[in-house]
């Protein structure tokens, strides 16, 4: 809608020229001007409206800023609580892990002690076996000495047996070679004395010597 603005003084003068009384002409001019300008926005109205909008906008921005600050503060608080909770959980987990590691170390120590005791027992058994083997070595060495002694003695025994066997063989075969018979009493013959020149025993049996 286009606003119409009139010159009230000029309009009143024209009414006066047309024969309208001056007071009535001025009243009619003002009345018409009021009717035409009613509802028109003035610069002051615009300035007031802009100032009001600016105030409302500033209030809205301030409210939003306050809400944003509150939200950020709440998020910071929640984040701090979450970090503190995570830190506490992490510390608890570290403590539990250290406890588990210590328990595992204790178990390893117990196992090492058991293994050490078992290996000590095995070492003691091996040492006892070494002692037994050393005793057996001593016995075998003594047996070797005895066998060596028996071997040296068996040589002499073999020689004696060989000599006895030789004498027996000689007593059995000599009469056949010398043309003599074995005595009836079964006594063995004495080996003939070697015939040597100058032997008195052979003087009677050897004629013409």
pLDDT of residue 209: 39
Question: At 187, phi and psi to the nearest 5?
Answer: -70, 150
| Residue 8 is assigned to a structural domain of this protein | yes
* Residues 6 or more apart whose Cβ sits within 8 Å of residue 113: none
Does 184 score more than 60 pLDDT? Answer: no
Please, which residues have CB within 8 angstroms of residue 11's CB and are 6 or more apart in sequence? 28, 29, 32, 33
Question: Does residue 35 belong to any structural domain of this protein?
Answer: yes
In a domain, 166, yes or no: no
pLDDT at 183 over 70: no
**Residue 203 CB partners (closer than 8 Å, separation 6+):** 209
CA distance 148 to 33: 164
For residues 30 and 37, give the distance between their C-alpha atoms in angstroms, rounded to a whole number.
10
Buried/exposed code over 9-45 (b: 16+ C-beta within 10 A; e: otherwise): eebbeebbeeebeeeebbebbeebbeeeeeeeeeeee
Q: Which pTM was predicted?
A: 0.32
Flag whether pLDDT at 205 surpasses 60: no
Of 53-57, 150-154, 172-176, 178-182, the range with the highest mean pLDDT is: 53-57
Give the structural domain span for 30: 1-40
Q: How confident is the model at residue 33 (pLDDT cuts 50, 70, 90)?
A: confident
Task: Identify whether the C-beta of residue 170 lies closer than 8 Å to the C-beta of residue 191.
Answer: yes
Query: Alpha helix locations (H) across the chain?
Result: 8-17, 22-37, 43-178
pLDDT in tens, 120-165: 888 888 888 888 888 888 888 888 888 777 777 777 777 888 888 8
pLDDT of residue 3: 52
In the structure encoding, which two tokens stand for residue 109, read together? 């120590």
Of the two residues 103 and 148, the one the predictor is more confident about is 103
**12 in any annotated domain:** yes
Does residue 98 lie within any of the structural domains?
A: no
Average pLDDT over all residues of the chain: 79
Minimum mean pLDDT range among 4-8, 19-23, 134-138, 205-209: 205-209
Residue 6 within a domain: yes
The set of residues, in sequence order, having a beta carbon less than 8 Å from that of 26 and lying 6+ positions away, is 8, 12
What per-residue confidence (pLDDT) applies to 4?
58
Rounded Cα gap, residues 187 and 169, in angstroms: 14
Q: If you count them, how many residues does the chain have? A: 209
What is the total count of domains within the chain? 1
């Amino acid at each position: 809608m286009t606003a119409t603005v009139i010159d009230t003084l000029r309009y009143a003068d024209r009414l006066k020229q047309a024969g309208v009384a001056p007071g009535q002409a001025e009243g009619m001019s003002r009345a018409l001007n009021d009717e035409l300008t009613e509802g028109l926005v003035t610069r002051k109205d615009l300035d007031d409206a802009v100032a009001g909008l600016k105030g409302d906008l500033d209030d809205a921005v301030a409210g939003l800023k306050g809400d944003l600050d509150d939200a950020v503060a709440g998020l910071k608080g929640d984040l701090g609580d979450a970090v503190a909770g995570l830190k506490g959980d992490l510390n608890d987990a570290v403590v539990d892990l250290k406890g588990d590691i210590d328990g595992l170390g204790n178990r390893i120590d117990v196992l090492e002690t058991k293994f050490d005791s078992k290996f000590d027992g095995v070492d003691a058994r091996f040492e006892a076996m070494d002692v037994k083997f050393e005793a057996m070595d001593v016995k075998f060495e003594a047996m070797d000495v005895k066998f060596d002694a028996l071997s040296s003695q068996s040589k002499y025994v073999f020689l004696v047996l060989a000599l006895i066997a030789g004498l027996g063989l000689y007593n059995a075969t000599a009469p056949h070679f010398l043309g003599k018979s074995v005595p009836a009493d079964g006594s063995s013959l004495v080996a003939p004395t070697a015939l040597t020149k100058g032997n008195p025993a052979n003087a009677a049996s050897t004629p013409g010597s």
